[in-house]
């Protein structure tokens, strides 16, 4: 079993921000009150107050003030009291050891930034039916999450910390999952050309396309879009179609994510070195065809998943400059100029005849090998690198 933490930025609206500020403020008051109670009792009787006693007391305080302390989730309050308990235990431990520790600090406004939750109790991470990731926070609402990185497959979120930092809000998820064994090294590399005729063309000749179920959804999307355009804007039918479209968008986003997960997993399992073109946004928009398919296929998602999975598996992704990869002959290096509608690479110099995208993929592999200055015989280097990329915290 492995534990990792994942941190995400939250995008709050004004109302959510105010609610979070308010709850954090209530938590701070409760924290200081719990500390105060311990101090008072200790000074009066020489005895401590246990966590259980404090919980009984502050539970009542919370219930008696629904508009203020009542906004704090009950389990979150328990976590808070455990923090007080921990601070106190540490204090007494040091006292016993003959040290002179400072009394646990009361927290000023600038010293109290976070609140803790148990996942599923007052806080829940979920995907809405449009495929967007949200964090539902009790008494705050459904907050947008900048979900830049997926959680490991089959992971369970245990502990949640919501934190304010420099005016922004973040969530840190402590996640438990079965540790994934590294895939074995294969000594193989691959070049990948993206996004014209096929979704992906591999240097070994494989062409990867959208799976049928995704193509069907995309077809349905086009049908619904046409239907919507015909209907009177704002009418009941129009609204119905719009709602169906929104649901379908969510479904497609999920299907696509799922497909890219599987594809990148396979690539990382099969190859030690994966070379792709370093396509900037500018380059993609300059090539209208590519821009369209890039948008349609979620190629950005493909690239980030690939990079992330490769890193996790201790394998390499090489980014190569995109110039001329489709024009050069991958066999002899002769320039064979061709426009976008020419599908086959035919070299007059050496006689090579190949799918144009596969030819490009082979060039990309060659470039990748030179760019990263790494021959596959150096697989041992990768092996070694793995020792440094083992258990780590991902932000
Ligand atoms: Zn040639």
For residue 318, how far is its CA from the centre of ligand 1 (angstroms)?
24
For residue 202, how far is its CA from the centre of ligand 1 (angstroms)?
18
In a domain, 156, yes or no: yes
144 plus 206 within the same structural domain: no
In a domain, 237, yes or no: no
Q: Does residue 266 contact residue 186 with C-beta atoms inside 8 Å? A: no
134 plus 193 within the same structural domain: no
In a domain, 235, yes or no: no
Task: Give the pLDDT of residue 114.
Answer: 94
* Tokens 């245990």, residue located: 158
303 plus 155 within the same structural domain: no
Domain edge (last residue) among 152, 177, 202: 177
Lowest mean pLDDT among 66-70, 118-122, 369-373: 369-373
116-157 pLDDT per residue, tens: 999 999 999 999 888 889 999 999 999 999 988 888 777 899
Lowest mean pLDDT among 6-10, 159-163, 253-257: 253-257
Name the pLDDT band for 97 (thresholds 50, 70, 90): confident
For residue 353, how far is its CA from the centre of ligand 1 (angstroms)?
9
Residue-by-residue DSSP string for 79-105: HHHHHHHHHHHHHHHHHHTT--PPPPP
Mean pLDDT of 255-278: 90
Could you tell me which of 307, 309, 270 has the C-alpha nearest to residue 180?
309
Mean pLDDT of 44-48: 85
In a domain, 288, yes or no: yes
For residue 187, how far is its CA from the centre of ligand 1 (angstroms)?
26
Q: Hey, how many other C-beta atoms are within 10 angstroms of the C-beta on 127?
A: 15
62 plus 119 within the same structural domain: yes
**Residues classed as catalytic:** 193, 277, 357
284 plus 164 within the same structural domain: no
In a domain, 9, yes or no: yes
86 plus 34 within the same structural domain: yes
In a domain, 260, yes or no: no
For residue 204, how far is its CA from the centre of ligand 1 (angstroms)?
17
24 plus 166 within the same structural domain: yes
* Tokens 């930025």, residue located: 9
113 plus 51 within the same structural domain: yes
316-360 pLDDT per residue, tens: 898 888 888 889 999 999 999 988 788 899 999 999 999 999 999
In a domain, 324, yes or no: yes
Name the pLDDT band for 377 (thresholds 50, 70, 90): very low
125 plus 193 within the same structural domain: no
361 plus 337 within the same structural domain: yes
For residue 59, how far is its CA from the centre of ligand 1 (angstroms)?
78
- Tell me which residue range forms the domain holding 171: 2-177
Mean pLDDT of 225-235: 93
The pLDDT of residue 385 is above 70: no
Task: Give the pLDDT of residue 376.
Answer: 46
Name the pLDDT band for 387 (thresholds 50, 70, 90): very low
The pLDDT of residue 211 is above 90: no
Q: What is the token pair recorded at 376?
A: 């596959």
Q: Hey, how many other C-beta atoms are within 10 angstroms of the C-beta on 52?
A: 10
In a domain, 393, yes or no: no
For residue 376, how far is its CA from the centre of ligand 1 (angstroms)?
24
Residue-by-residue DSSP string for 54-82: HHHHHHHHHHH-TTTGGGS-HHHHHHHHH
Mean pLDDT of 21-36: 96
Q: What is the token pair recorded at 231?
A: 């209907």
Domain count, the chain: 2
34 plus 169 within the same structural domain: yes
Domain edge (last residue) among 129, 152, 177: 177
195 plus 117 within the same structural domain: no
For residue 242, how far is the Cα from the chain centroid? 28
């Amino acid at each position: 079993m492995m534990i990792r933490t994942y941190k995400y930025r939250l995008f709050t609206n004004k109302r959510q921000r105010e609610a979070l500020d308010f709850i954090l403020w209530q938590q701070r008051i409760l924290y200081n009150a719990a500390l105060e109670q311990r101090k008072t009792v200790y000074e009066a009787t020489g005895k401590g107050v246990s966590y259980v006693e404090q919980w009984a007391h502050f539970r009542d305080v919370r219930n008696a003030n629904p508009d203020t302390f009542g906004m704090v989730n009950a389990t979150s309050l328990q976590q808070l009291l455990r923090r007080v308990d921990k601070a106190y235990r540490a204090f007494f431990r040091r006292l016993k050891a003959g040290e002179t520790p400072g009394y646990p600090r009361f927290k000023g406004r600038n010293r109290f930034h976070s609140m803790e939750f148990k996942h599923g109790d007052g806080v829940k991470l979920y995907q809405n039916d449009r495929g967007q990731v949200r964090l539902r926070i009790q008494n705050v609402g459904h907050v947008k999450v900048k979900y830049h990185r997926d959680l490991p497959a089959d992971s369970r979120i245990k502990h949640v910390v919501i934190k304010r930092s420099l005016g922004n809000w973040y969530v840190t998820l402590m996640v438990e999952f079965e540790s994934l064994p590294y895939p074995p090294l294969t000594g193989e590399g691959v070049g990948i050309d993206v996004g014209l005729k096929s979704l992906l063309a591999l240097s070994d000749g494989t062409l990867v396309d959208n799976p049928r179920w995704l193509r069907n959804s995309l077809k349905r999307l086009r049908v619904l879009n046409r239907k919507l355009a015909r209907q009177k804007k704002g009418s009941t039918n129009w609204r119905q179609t719009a709602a169906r479209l929104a649901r379908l968008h969510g479904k497609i986003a999920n299907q696509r994510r799922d497909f890219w997960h599987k594809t990148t997993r396979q690539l990382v399992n099969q190859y030690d070195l994966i070379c792709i073109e370093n396509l900037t946004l500018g380059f993609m928009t300059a090539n209208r065809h590519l821009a369209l398919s890039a948008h349609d296929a979620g190629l950005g998602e493909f690239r980030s998943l690939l990079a992330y999975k490769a890193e996790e598996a201790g394998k390499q992704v090489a980014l190569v400059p995109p110039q001329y990869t489709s024009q050069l002959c991958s066999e002899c290096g002769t320039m064979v100029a061709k426009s976008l509608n020419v599908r086959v690479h035919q070299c007059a110099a050496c006689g090579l005849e190949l799918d144009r995208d596969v030819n490009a993929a082979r060039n990309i592999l060659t470039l990748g090998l030179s760019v990263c200055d790494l021959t596959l015989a150096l697989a041992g280097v990768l092996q070694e690198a793995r020792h440094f990329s083992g258990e780590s915290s991902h932000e």
